[in-house]
């Protein structure tokens, strides 16, 4: 199962199973391989290509991108009705135990500006 995340960079991040993720086998310097297990519920087909689900891709993005890129992309997914607010806790749960999850949890759980502030 492979997926790619569109993070504004000159690199393409792909998730490949097992030995396929070894960089010399890829042979392309712009590809950044990852070996991240994907459960059956975290995969889907997009135009006959096996891909990560929207929630799984966003969860992985939380670990790879900076705050602005990650929060902006999640905001766009919410605005485009690709995910719902109810999906947000699951994003963090799906990456539990991975490096960066504490930072990601803070980004997801941050409150917006207070409604009680004077204008």
Q: Parse the chain into domains and list their residue ranges.
A: 4-109
Question: Tokens 């992309």 sit at which residue?
Answer: 73
Question: Tokens 């997009």 sit at which residue?
Answer: 46
| 3 phi, psi to nearest 5 deg | -145, 160
Residue 36: its pLDDT value, please? 76
Per-residue pLDDT of 85-98, as tens digits, reads: 999 888 888 888 88
Beta strands in the chain (DSSP E): 4-5, 12-15, 31-34, 43-46, 49-52
**Sequence-ordered list of residues with C-beta below 8 angstroms from that of 64, at least 6 positions apart, any chain:** 5, 7, 13
In angstroms, the CA 16 to CA 48 distance is 17
Give pTM, 2 decimals.
0.69
The band of 71, judged by pLDDT with boundaries at 50, 70 and 90, is confident
The band of 61, judged by pLDDT with boundaries at 50, 70 and 90, is confident
Q: Per-residue pLDDT for 64 more than 90? A: no
Please give the residue that has the higher pLDDT: either 103 or 111: 103
Q: Of 42, 43, 19, 28, which is closest to residue 93 (Cα–Cα)? A: 42
């Amino acid at each position: 199962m492979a997926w790619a995340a569109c993070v504004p960079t000159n690199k393409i991040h792909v998730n490949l199973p097992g030995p396929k993720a070894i960089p010399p086998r890829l042979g392309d310097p712009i590809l950044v391989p990852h070996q991240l297990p994907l459960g059956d519920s975290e995969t889907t087909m997009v135009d006959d290509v096996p891909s990560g689900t929207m929630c799984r891709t966003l969860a992985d993005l939380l670990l790879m991108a900076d705050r602005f890129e990650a929060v902006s992309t999640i905001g766009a997914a919410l605005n485009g009705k690709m995910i719902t607010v109810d999906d947000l806790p699951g994003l963090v749960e799906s990456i539990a135990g991975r490096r960066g999850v504490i930072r990601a949890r803070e980004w997801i759980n941050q409150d917006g500006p207070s409604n009680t502030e004077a204008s």
